[in-house]
Amino acid sequence: MLLVKLGGSVLTDKARLRTPRKSAIARLTKELAGLGDDLIVVHGAGSFGHVLARKYALNGPAVPAKAKGAAVVQRDVRTLDALVVDGLLKAGLAPVVLPPSAVLGLDDGRVASFDVAAFREYVRQGFTPVTFGDVVRDATRGVSVCSGDILMLELAKAFRPRSVVFAADVDGLCTADPKRAKDARLLLSVAAADLSLIDFGPAKGADVTGGIEAKVRRMLEIASFADETIMVNGNVKNRVRDALRGRIVIGTRVVGGH
Amino acid sequence: MLLVKLGGSVLTDKARLRTPRKSAIARLTKELAGLGDDLIVVHGAGSFGHVLARKYALNGPAVPAKAKGAAVVQRDVRTLDALVVDGLLKAGLAPVVLPPSAVLGLDDGRVASFDVAAFREYVRQGFTPVTFGDVVRDATRGVSVCSGDILMLELAKAFRPRSVVFAADVDGLCTADPKRAKDARLLLSVAAADLSLIDFGPAKGADVTGGIEAKVRRMLEIASFADETIMVNGNVKNRVRDALRGRIVIGTRVVGGH
């Protein structure tokens, strides 16, 4: 089993509402064909989800009429998802969409239920399940944001994949934000013990899914359920494909605590 | 609780592949707003599903590579579903899509699992769940067609709705096919005992969901779980709305055996 996360920053222009990066979507979906192993695809919501999720405060406590904002975000995210599905179909795969809003329930931001049977059954029938960052029901908050990374963790736990690949818009994890710090350098590997060495920058830059540090902590947890976990640059042609094939590529290996 | 089925013959031109009837979709979704009660919407697949489902023989026994055909049909049906969702959003509702491929599993064409909790929770949060005829996993056949009517039955069982409305492209059920028999007349009500009086015509005209007789038998079963069940003409303005409001309208009342 291979598990890949296509980051919202690769699939979309994160600064501009509902703006897909169509050529990246076409290329990346093509890279996922012909891998010769079962595959599950998770993708971020990028500018199809984050902008309005923040506007409607969908990660906050329950407020009346939050349903309408959530419905708009869900609709937008599905527009992006349809582009990914079209790419996968064109590449010759048989994608089946399992939206988190349908198969996952949260309680105060934590996973309360997750229907892994649907994923398992479709994989067995030769499909490539596709899921994504979404707004889902939350027993305490009404609705809440479920990031693609939460799904990665649940799927890694359930399938114990041979390889997990995170496709980002940078070469990997750096000692600091390379856009701010000139001396930032790429970490070839990261383990829990390395977290204190990384300058994650100000927390207020965090997106609706919790910011970089939370992402790295979750990646470490995910890595503990997989043989190999790596974060690579999805903007570089064939890097995701090569990583999934087990080749040595530029990126940050994530070493989970076994 | 109100439960409505928007037939594929109303939402699409059934004779032409992937052809929505956009004005009907806009009008009908508008009729579903402001009803003052919880609502679940089920819609047919029409020419977004039936044509290719038949081509790929998705109701037959398992064959290799059926996954790809199923994935294409699922993608097409979601295009229609997105139009329905857009209409509901525009009408001021908060639709949440719960695709049968994600929440329902079949075994040899019969329902093996159905996640009603997702429907229940979203209704409680003020959403209008939307589901539709689709291709879903089948433990025996690999994949199989799940008609909107199968979903109507499962939802009626779970929610015991006050009112169930089927929107078709005819005024109701007739003693024979009005397109073939000139003396066909509208039945104002139908019960199980009346089935023998109806000329259902040749079975070979049956669509991928089983034909008219199977549909009527399922409606009778559904009616046994609801206070009122009626089949009305969705092409007549406000008829669906009025039926859901409990007004007396032209149509066929379906009387289930209690």
Using one digit for the tens of pLDDT, what is the confidence trace for B201-252? 765 545 666 678 888 999 999 999 999 999 999 999 999 999 999 999 999 9
Task: Specify which residues A60 forms β-bridges with.
Answer: none
Q: Helix, strand, coil: what percent of chain A each, to 5?
A: 40, 25, 40
Contact state of B94 with A86 under an 8 Å Cβ cutoff: no
Say if A238 is an interface residue toward chain B (CB within 8 Å): no
pLDDT confidence of residue B19: 92
Mutation for A interface: B52, B75, B146, most A CBs within 10 A: B75
Say if B106 is an interface residue toward chain A (CB within 8 Å): no
Separation CA A193–CA A108 (nearest Å): 29
Separation CA B132–CA B136 (nearest Å): 11
pLDDT confidence of residue B65: 64
Q: Report the gap between the CA of B147 and the closest CA in chain A (Å).
A: 18
Mutation for A interface: B113, B114, B127, most A CBs within 10 A: B127
pLDDT confidence of residue B211: 75
Q: Choose among B72, B105, B126: nearest Cβ to A89.
A: B72
| The amino acid at A249 | V
Look-up: residue for tokens 């996640």?
Answer: B115
Mean local confidence (pLDDT), B3-26: 95
User: What is the share, in percent, of chain B residues with pLDDT greater than 70?
Assistant: 95
Say if A143 is an interface residue toward chain B (CB within 8 Å): yes
To 10 degrees, the CA torsion angle through B82, B86, B88, B93?
110
Contact state of B94 with A121 under an 8 Å Cβ cutoff: no
Rounded to two decimals, what is the model's pTM? Answer: 0.94
Q: Going along A108-220, which residue ranges are E strands? A: 110-114, 128-132, 134-138, 142-146, 163-168, 189-191
pLDDT confidence of residue B66: 87
Say if B92 is an interface residue toward chain A (CB within 8 Å): yes
- One digit per residue, the tens of pLDDT, for chain A of length 258 reads 999 999 999 999 988 889 999 999 999 999 999 899 999 999 999 989 877 878 888 877 766 568 999 999 999 999 999 999 999 999 999 999 999 999 999 999 999 999 999 999 999 999 999 999 999 999 999 999 999 999 999 999 999 999 999 999 999 999 888 778 888 899 999 999 988 888 887 655 456 666 788 889 999 999 999 999 999 999 999 999 999 999 999 999 999 875
Please give the residue of chain B at the shortest CA–CA distance from A122. B137
* More reliable by pLDDT, B52 or B42: B42
Task: Specify which residues A190 forms β-bridges with.
Answer: A254
Contact between B3 and B167 (Cβ < 8 Å): no
pLDDT confidence of residue B200: 83
Q: Report the gap between the CA of B236 and the closest CA in chain A (Å).
A: 28
Q: Which chain A positions have a beta carbon within 8 Å of B79's beta carbon?
A: 82
Reported residue count of chain B is: 258
Mean pLDDT of chain B: 92
Instruction: Count other C-beta atoms under 10 Å from residue B245's C-beta.
Output: 17
Say if A252 is an interface residue toward chain B (CB within 8 Å): no
**Interval B93-135: pLDDT, tens:** 999 999 999 999 999 999 999 999 999 999 999 999 999 999 9
**Interval B28-49: pLDDT, tens:** 999 999 899 999 999 999 989 8
